[in-house]
Amino acid sequence: GKRRQKKKSGFRTKKEAEAAAAILKNELNQGTYVEESNVTFEDFSYEWLSIYEGNGNVKESTVRIRKHEIKRLLDYFAKLKLKGITRHQYQNAINDLKKRGYAQNTIEGAHRTGRMIFRKAVEMEVLKKDPTEFTHVPRHQKTIEELEGKKDLPRYLEKQKLKHFLQVAKKVGLEQDYPIFLLLAYTGLRTGELCALKWRDIDMEEQTISISKTYYNPNNNRKEYKLLPPKTATAVRVIDVDDTVINELKKHQTQQKETMMKHRHIYHDQGFVFASVDDKLPGYPHYIKKVENRMARLLKLAELNTELTPHSLRHTHTSLLAEAEVSLPQIMERLGHKDESTTKNVYLHVTKEMKKEASQKFKELMENL
């Protein structure tokens, strides 16, 4: 009930001042007036992040990604008042990320986070308008080769090359290399799923592997690992495996029991399938970087493409399933995908080649009549 006055100056003419006053009065009458805060972009971004992190459905790894994306935007807006950031400034920032050579995913991620921050500011009545609303994210201009699909296909191993790779892993691989890469190639597991795997997840009798968690350790500190639920509901699944995998896992389990006995007083006995055998931290699960380094070593020894990664074995598994005429929905279910364009690309590429082969065989059959 007390009189409240608001002053604003800096208008060039009396007419401009009167127009601004009229808008303000109208907002007050309509109940849409928002008294914008003087908070800086940096301060509000971290306030938003704490709210976002408090949502129980958000994974720790996702929060870490959001922190990186905020840092990209802080280069442009850190000490600016949130209310002072214009659409033009925001668009220029997104354009500049493109000029600086950031990948498309990085730019889109930064914009996605920017949108969430400004929308939350509007929702909390810290801001009147969202400057990200009509932003255009510049896109990479594809080459003719890319448009033809020649560069969209991920790298993977053909059947004979996979066989050679696994033979090398068996012959000159370091301890546990062969069962690790056999399992990745025969199941299409993600590396994080492999590192989180426990013996209780493996049913030797039914010949199945249950996937219900993933390994998280961004700093590669072996003691500070975390096991997190998978990102999506479809990633929780049960995979059928054959005798080749089960027999190798049984051999590996026998060897692991010897290690456990040797280090029984200090062994980190949490039931991990692939665990360290060294004298310092026996029993701690392998970390993702270690698996990547082991594969790089084997690829070099096998004289195969050294740009391949453990994830390439996931694509390899897709290609071999397609070659075995397993349907795309079945492959997606096995890999724990709801929708994945890369998997579809591999599947379509392999089945396309199979169709060509079928056509050629028919032609040869007709010529021999």
Give the per-residue pLDDT at 196: 97
- Quickly state the pLDDT bin for 33 (edges 50, 70, 90): low
As a whole number, mean pLDDT of residues 219-239 equals 89
Q: Distance from CA of residue 300 to its chain's centroid? A: 26
As a whole number, mean pLDDT of residues 282-300 equals 96
Lowest pLDDT segment from 66-70, 76-80, 126-130, 263-267: 126-130
d(CA 149, CA 147): 5
* Under 8 Å between Cβ of 227 and 285: no
Indicate the pTM of the whole model: 0.73
* Under 8 Å between Cβ of 180 and 248: no
Please provide residue 78's backbone torsions phi and psi, each rounded to the nearest 5 degrees: -40, -60
**338 or 150, higher pLDDT:** 338
Tell whether the model's pLDDT for residue 139 goes beyond 90: no
Q: Distance from CA of residue 66 to its chain's centroid? A: 12
Q: Distance from CA of residue 265 to its chain's centroid? A: 38
Give the per-residue pLDDT at 316: 95
Tell whether the model's pLDDT for residue 149 goes beyond 60: no
Closest C-alpha among 203, 221, 335 to residue 273 = 203
pLDDT more than 90, % of the chain:
64
CB atoms within 10 A of CB 332: 18
Give the per-residue pLDDT at 274: 97
Give the per-residue pLDDT at 152: 61
As a whole number, mean pLDDT of residues 296-309 equals 96
Q: Which domains does the chain have, with CATH numbers?
A: 15-123 (1.10.150.130), 159-358 (1.10.443.10)
Please provide residue 357's backbone torsions phi and psi, each rounded to the nearest 5 degrees: -65, -40
Q: Which residue blocks in 31-158 are alpha helix, DSSP H?
A: 41-53, 60-77, 87-99, 104-123, 144-147
Q: Where are the beta strands (DSSP E) in the chain?
A: 202-203, 208-211, 214-216, 226-228, 237-240
CB-based contacts of 275-280 (< 8 A; 24+ apart in sequence): 276/222, 277/175, 277/176
pLDDT more than 70, % of the chain:
93
What is the bridge-based pairing of β-strands 208-211 and 202-203?
Answer: antiparallel
Lowest pLDDT segment from 123-132, 143-152, 270-279: 143-152
* 297 Cβ contact partners less than 8 Å away, ≥ 6 residues apart: 174
Closest C-alpha among 133, 136, 102, 97 to residue 117 = 133
Please provide residue 154's backbone torsions phi and psi, each rounded to the nearest 5 degrees: -70, 160
Give the per-residue pLDDT at 215: 95
Give the per-residue pLDDT at 119: 94
Please provide residue 226's backbone torsions phi and psi, each rounded to the nearest 5 degrees: -135, 150
Lowest pLDDT segment from 15-29, 212-226, 329-343: 15-29
CB atoms within 10 A of CB 317: 24
Please provide residue 118's backbone torsions phi and psi, each rounded to the nearest 5 degrees: -70, -35
Give the per-residue pLDDT at 357: 77
Question: pLDDT averaged over the chain?
Answer: 89
Q: What's the maximum distance between 2 C-alpha atoms anywhere in the chain?
A: 102
pLDDT per residue as tens digits for the range 313-366:
999 999 999 999 999 999 999 999 877 888 888 888 888 888 877 777 777 777
Lowest pLDDT segment from 27-41, 69-83, 261-275, 278-292: 27-41
d(CA 241, CA 245): 6
pLDDT per residue as tens digits for the range 92-122:
999 999 999 999 999 999 999 999 999 999 9
Tell whether the model's pLDDT for residue 34 goes beyond 60: no
Question: Would you state the structure tokens that stand for residue 191, as one six-digit string?
Answer: 């590396």
- Quickly state the pLDDT bin for 16 (edges 50, 70, 90): confident
**139 or 202, higher pLDDT:** 202
Tell whether the model's pLDDT for residue 76 goes beyond 80: yes
